[in-house]
Structure formats: structure tokens, C-alpha cells
Structure 1
């Protein structure tokens, strides 16, 4: 059995579905169910005894200790995090509380649990911390991609809080010997992503005939990683990663935000043309850039391929088509997720943002 934190979120729920399908091993899923956590993502496991859901906070050390003692997991996969840059700009406190304090609380309880294991179980135990490429800061147009030895230079409260959590995980390995692994991934996309993120936001706004907001000039570059590929990479790192090491996980798909939006619009034009027959790209609207917007991220994923044999199976073209099709086929999920919380977020972040 493994314990997953944040397993009702976008990447966490995809990972649990992938994990049980691939391995059959049971999962304890600890999730606070904040706005982005959604048990509907895991509806296919509703009556599956291999998925044990517990609503709770990683800062609740009594609860974490109880779950560790009761279920005796052989590994922890730590997804739980506040994870949106814009939200961290509007309210950084929650990011400090969850990403830094929560990771610390989890590490403390896991360390206590791990130290009491028998020798064989202790040697086999793993703590895998899932992080982001944003901890490395921003790249220039001609800079080489981020590697595992790139210096940290976070530029938002979100990335700073994730950088702090990475450092805590590293410290617990080097100080206490806790068998940790860290992964830093690029921008994920795929099924079940909360529609504050670029790709589902564009899909949803386009289908509703609303403006498609693009920050600044739209030339910010990101490396895009299909969530299914990310899940496979995490399984590979858990199975064979060297203790104390970091593995960068990327899709080898650098795209500007404008390219991504135009690609999504073109697929929607093909699969679900607008009632007025206008191309969805006509809805593109440039808005004032967000503060401290990193210009470019790019991941060098050669280490994980060299050591563990992982590389992404999806190109951006194949992955984005699967993603758009999933949203079109699951509009019931979208309608349920687009609640008052989401509408309040859209109002706070976009309503008063000046057009560029």
C-alpha cells in the first residue's frame, strides 16, 4: 500500500487512476478537498476497495500519524500543494501554510514512522516529493533548459513556497537519512484539470463564446507535459530512482502561450464548430500581464531517460487533441466544477484586468 497526499487534485487523481490500473496496489488518498480537489475525478474507483479516501489536512499531524500507523504504507507520494501562480499573488498565505508548513509537518510524521520500521521495510521505504520547474526561475530565449543542478531562483510566492518545500525534503534526506526522491515537472495538461489553468480555461471560455485572455504579448514559453506521461515518470522514479536525487520531468514540447491557444482553437473549430461559424481564435483578447511573469521554462529530461529509461509517449499534438476531446466528452464534469468558487476567482483575476 502507498499513501498519496492531494490525490483528489488534477495530477494526484490522474496518478491514482494510473497507479491502480498499472499496479493493482492499494492507495490511501489524503486530500483536504479545497476548491481544486474533486472526488468526481475518482468516480471510477467509488466502490473499489483499493482506494481508501480520507479527507484531511497534511498539517494535521495527529491524523497523518494515525494513517501511517494504521495502514503502514511502503511509500508516500506527496502531491498536496497550492499550485497556481495567480492565486499566490492574490493570497500568498495559503501557499506558505500548505506548501511549506504542510510539507514540514508531513516530513516530521513520516520520519517518526520510518524510524520505527523494521530493517527490511525501512530500507525499502520511499518518500517522493512532486514539485515544479518554476523553482528554477525564468529562462532567456537562448538559454539552455533547466537541469537538476540549475540554481533555484523562484519569482512568485507559489514557486518560492515550492522551492522551500524542495529544500526541506533535501534536508531531511541529508540530515536524517530519510529515503527521499524529488521530481520537478513542467506544465501538465490533460483530463480533470481545474479550469483556472490555461488549457481548460481556453476550452471553457471558447465554448461559451467568452474572451480568451492571454497575458501580455502571449510569447511566454512553457514546456508542456501530458499528465499520463507524468504519472508514468513518477512510477519510474519511485521504482528505481537514486535516493536523495532530483529528476526533472518534461515533455520536450516548448510552446508559446499564443501557440497553445491557437492550437486549442483549431481543434475546437474541427470538433465542435461555433454556432456563429466564426473561428474560436477570433475570441483571443490580450490582457495586462501578471506581475513577475516568467518568460520561459524549459526542462532537460535527459537524466530520467538515461537512468530510468523514461521518456514521454505523447507529443503535444497527440496529447492536446486527447485533452480537448476529453473536455468535450465530459461537459457534465465541467459544469459541476464551475461553481461559485470558480466564478469568484475569474472575477478577482480577470474582470478588472486592463486590456493590453
Structure 2
């Protein structure tokens, strides 16, 4: 859009703690990240949740009517409720009035709205949700898909690997992302038919640095920078990893010594504990980027509170600043041109 400040459309009505926590996270992002915020939803509820401060510069309220409830079938609800907050937010991106959408509402509805209103990037068959997890190597790993596609064809995962590599390189700062395929064994012959066929495709894909299968124990090892899988497996993996992080934090709280000595020890360890929380708490990562649609869309957890929303907006800004959408589009455009050139060369032969 050429604007110096990113404009983020926030689905203020989506999520278990909407609109209060959504708005609190958005206001913090406005102040700390320097973004313009468009709060989409019921104006009365939004106004009631805003703090009583005289100057809310760069905050705009965009009226919407209703939201998509968690029990509703996504596609049908999206079509029945054209003025629902997630639809209005996506329309802002489509009309280039916003650079990105952040929603903690119905994830299926967010994906359906993105597909219907923004469309897919040309050359991408299915979008994927990418989630960033910490590793023991002090660098993140990107897992995709973590929920957009329960059933996948081999070419979907092949495309996920390309999109994930672009994101890992330009946003996470990995110069040559190493790609793995989530599987039950390291050998190429292991796994179901999908895994075997995807392995063959990734080995032949010159656009990714594929280094083989990744077993469950490899996910957080730091050996891989991008791991691809179908959305069913990825969603189970993500929620298990989040639960492990929560358990680890709870154990730390319970095991720290009590009393005066414990308080002194905790005070000394506070910086370390803060860094541990930043690495293992899923709230610190904000949500997942929906890769493959023609717009920037961050899908946050339904239980997201203000810190998660802040980090989701940060993730959106990073994707905008690093031109993730444009880079994926360029990759696919170059791939199509190469395919055409190869086809013409073969016909000349």
C-alpha cells in the first residue's frame, strides 16, 4: 500500500475474551509497535471496552454486525452473515484499506473468509496455517499446516514447504531454512502413502533445502527450520506442544522454594524465568500466519488475551515489513515461468 505505518484490522468481536482483551492488546501494539489499528465490530461494545483516555490517535472503529460463533459451520455462516466482523475485516484488506487481519475468533471462519474475499495466491492450491515453536537450539521452528487442511494431497505439502521456507528466511532470519517432513521414521520408505509420495516430491524440489523426515523427537531439536505435515497431525502436535509449555511453567512455579529464601532466589532468577516464559509460553507467539491467501491474516487462539493479541499484531507487522506475501507470489510466478520454459524446451527437442 506504500504507507509508512502498517494498518491492522482487528476482529474485535472474535475470541473468548472479546472485546476487552482484544482491545487491550491492540492498544498496546499501537503504542509499542507504531501501527494503526482498525477495531472491527459492534461500535457500542468497542466504545464501552476502550479506556477513558482523551487521545486514541490511530484507532479507528469500523462497524460490523455480529460474529461467527464457534458452533457454526464456517462456510455457511460466512455466507449467511456478510457483515460479520471477520468478513468486514477481510474486506478492508481486499479494498487495501488495511494491510493485515488479526482474529482470535472461529479459525475455520477466518480461513473461509480469507479464501472467499482475498482468494488464493496463484499457484497455491491450499493455504496453510504456520505456527512458530521454540527449540533447544535457541532458534524457532515453523510447523505447517497446523489446522487448515485435515486431508492433504502430496502437492499441498510440497507447496507448504516452499511457503514455509520463504517465511523462515525473511521473517525468522534463517539464511537457508532446512525443511523436514513429519513422519514416524527417518527412512524415506517409512510412513503412509502420503508421506512416501511427499518425500519423493520434496527431494526433487529445487526451491527448498529438504533434509529428510523429522520424527516427533526431532521437532524441537533445532535440526529443522521448517517442518511440513497435514493439518490434522499438525494441530495435534501444536496443542500438545502448547500443553507441555504450560505444564513446564506450572512446575517451575510449584518447585521454586517458598518463604524468604525462596523470594530472594526468585528475584535473582527473575530475568531467566522471564526468558523461559518467552520461549515456551504460546501466548508469546500470538498465533499462526495463514500462508497461501492473497493477504496477510493471523489466526490467534480462541482463548487469546491481551499479550497474545499484541504478539499476533507483531507477527502481522513482521510479515508486512518483510513482504512475505510478495515474496511467495514471486516464488510461484518464477516457478510457473520455469515450468513454461522447460515445457517449451522439451517441445523443441
TM-score band w.r.t. shorter chain: 0.3 to 0.5
TM-score, normalization by structure 1: 0.32
Give TM-score, length-normalised by structure 2. Answer: 0.33
The structure that has the greater radius of gyration is 2
Relative CO higher for 1 or 2, CA cutoff 8 Å, sep ≥ 6? 2
